C-alpha cells in the first residue's frame, strides 16, 4: 500500500497529495471569494502541502493564501519560490538569481505570507548568469538566520542537482512530470535514494482526459476519472512523489484529493507504466 505521508527534509510531514495554488484567481470579488473558498476547502479535505510562488501574480497569490488561511494550522506547509524578476517598462520578466534580489524576494514572501520563517523555499529557476554557489549561498545565509527552513530547486537536471547538493542540503525538487510527460525521469530517480521530495508540476497532463485507452480502461475498472488515475499512478511511481495538482474549482479539488484513496493493482500499474509518454 502506498504511504499517505512524506517527511520533507526528514521533518516536515505532509499528505502526499498537495495543492498547487497557481490557478487561484486573485482579482477582486467575487472571483477572489471563490478562490479563498477553494484554498479553505483544500485544508478541510486534509491537504497539508500548498505550493505557491512570488511569480504567481507577483506576490498576489501569496497574499491570497494568507488572507484565506492565516493563522495557519500547525500541520500546514506553504512552500513558495523565488528567483524570477517581474516585468517593467524596459524588460520582460526574467530569471534572476542575484543574491540581493533573492534576499529581497524572501523578505517579501515572509511579509506577504505573514510568517517569520518560510519552511520550504524553492529556487524557481537557476540563473545561468550567476554562479550557483552565490545563489544557494544567499539562501543558506537566510537559512542560518532562521528565515528559511529547507531549500529546494525547480526545473533542474541531474547534474545541477548534484552540484547544488555540494553547496546546501536540498529538500525538494519541483520539475514537470506526469504519466504522459516523463522527460525528467532521471531527476526523479536521483531524488528517490536521497530522500528528496519530488513535487511534479503539471501532474495531470492537459491531454489525459483524451489519452490512451489504457488510462480509460483503468479508470473504468476503478470507477474513477482519468485525472485520478494519473495522480494515483504518480503516487505509486515513487515514494518521494508529492503531486501538487492545481485548480480553481472545489469540484476538481475534491476529485484530485480523492485520488489518494485509489489503490492500483500490480497489473494496473504495469499497464500504465507501459504507456508511451508524449
Which domains are present in the chain? 7-204+238-261 (3.20.20.100)
Active site residue 72: no
End-to-end CA distance of the chain: 28
Confidence (pLDDT) at 278: 65
Rounded to whole angstroms, the Cα distance separating 30 from 134 reads 43
Q: Is 82 helix (H, G, I), strand (E, B) or coil?
A: strand
Q: How many other β-carbons are positioned within 10 Å of the β-carbon of residue 162?
A: 13
Alpha carbons within 13 angstroms on the beta-carbon side of residue 234 total: 34
Count Cβ atoms below 10 Å from residue 273 Cβ, excluding itself: 12
Predicted TM-score (pTM) of the model is: 0.96
The predicted pLDDT at position 89 comes to 82
What is the C-alpha to C-alpha distance for residues 194 and 72, in angstroms, rounded to an integer?
A: 30
Query: Which pLDDT does position 29 carry in this prediction?
Result: 86
Confidence (pLDDT) at 97: 98
Q: What is the structure's pLDDT at 211? A: 67
Q: What's the pLDDT score for residue 88?
A: 87
Identify the pLDDT of residue 42: 98
Alpha-helix residue ranges (DSSP H) falling in 114-155: 132-144
pLDDT confidence of residue 117: 98
Q: Which of 6, 19, 56, 233 is catalytic?
A: 56
**CA–CA gap between residue 86 and residue 91 (Å, rounded):** 9
Report the distance separating Cα 87 and Cα 12, nearest Å: 34
Residue from 255, 241, 227, 250 nearest 16 by CA: 241
pLDDT mean values, one per 10 residues, the chain (278 residues): 84 98 93 97 98 97 98 98 92 96 98 98 98 98 98 98 98 97 97 98 88 90 97 98 98 97 96 86
Amino acid at each position: 500500500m502506498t504511504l499517505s505521508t512524506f517527511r520533507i527534509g526528514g521533518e516536515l510531514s505532509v499528505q502526499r497529495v498537495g495543492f498547487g495554488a497557481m490557478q487561484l484567481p486573485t482579482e477582486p470579488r467575487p472571483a477572489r471569494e471563490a478562490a479563498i473558498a477553494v484554498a479553505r476547502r483544500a485544508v478541510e479535505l486534509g491537504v497539508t502541502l500548498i505550493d505557491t510562488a512570488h511569480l504567481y501574480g507577483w506576490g498576489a497569490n501569496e497574499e491570497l493564501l494568507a488572507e484565506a488561511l492565516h493563522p495557519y494550522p500547525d500541520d500546514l506547509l506553504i512552500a513558495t519560490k523565488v528567483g524570477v524578476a517581474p516585468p517593467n517598462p524596459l524588460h520582460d520578466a526574467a530569471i534572476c538569481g542575484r543574491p540581493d534580489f533573492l534576499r529581497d524576494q524572501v523578505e517579501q514572501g515572509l511579509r506577504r505570507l505573514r510568517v517569520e520563517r518560510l519552511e520550504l523555499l524553492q529556487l524557481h529557476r537557476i540563473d545561468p548568469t550567476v554562479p550557483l554557489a552565490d545563489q544557494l549561498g544567499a539562501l543558506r545565509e537566510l537559512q542560518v538566520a532562521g528565515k528559511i527552513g529547507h531549500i529546494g530547486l525547480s526545473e533542474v537536471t541531474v547534474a545541477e542537482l548534484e552540484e547544488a547538493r555540494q553547496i546546501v542540503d536540498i529538500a525538494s525538487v519541483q520539475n514537470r512530470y506526469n504519466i504522459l510527460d516523463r522527460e525528467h525521469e532521471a531527476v526523479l530517480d536521483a531524488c528517490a535514494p536521497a530522500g528528496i521530495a519530488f513535487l511534479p508540476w503539471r501532474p495531470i497532463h492537459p491531454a489525459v482526459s483524451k489519452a490512451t485507452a489504457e488510462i480509460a480502461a483503468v479508470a473504468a475498472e476503478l470507477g474513477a476519472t482519468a485525472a485520478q488515475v494519473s495522480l494515483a499512478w504518480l503516487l505509486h511511481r515513487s515514494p518521494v512523489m508529492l503531486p501538487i495538482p492545481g485548480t480553481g474549482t472545489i469540484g476538481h479539488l475534491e476529485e484530485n484529493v480523492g485520488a489518494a484513496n485509489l489503490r492500483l493493482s500490480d497489473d494496473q500499474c504495469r499497464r500504465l507504466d507501459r504507456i508511451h509518454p508524449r
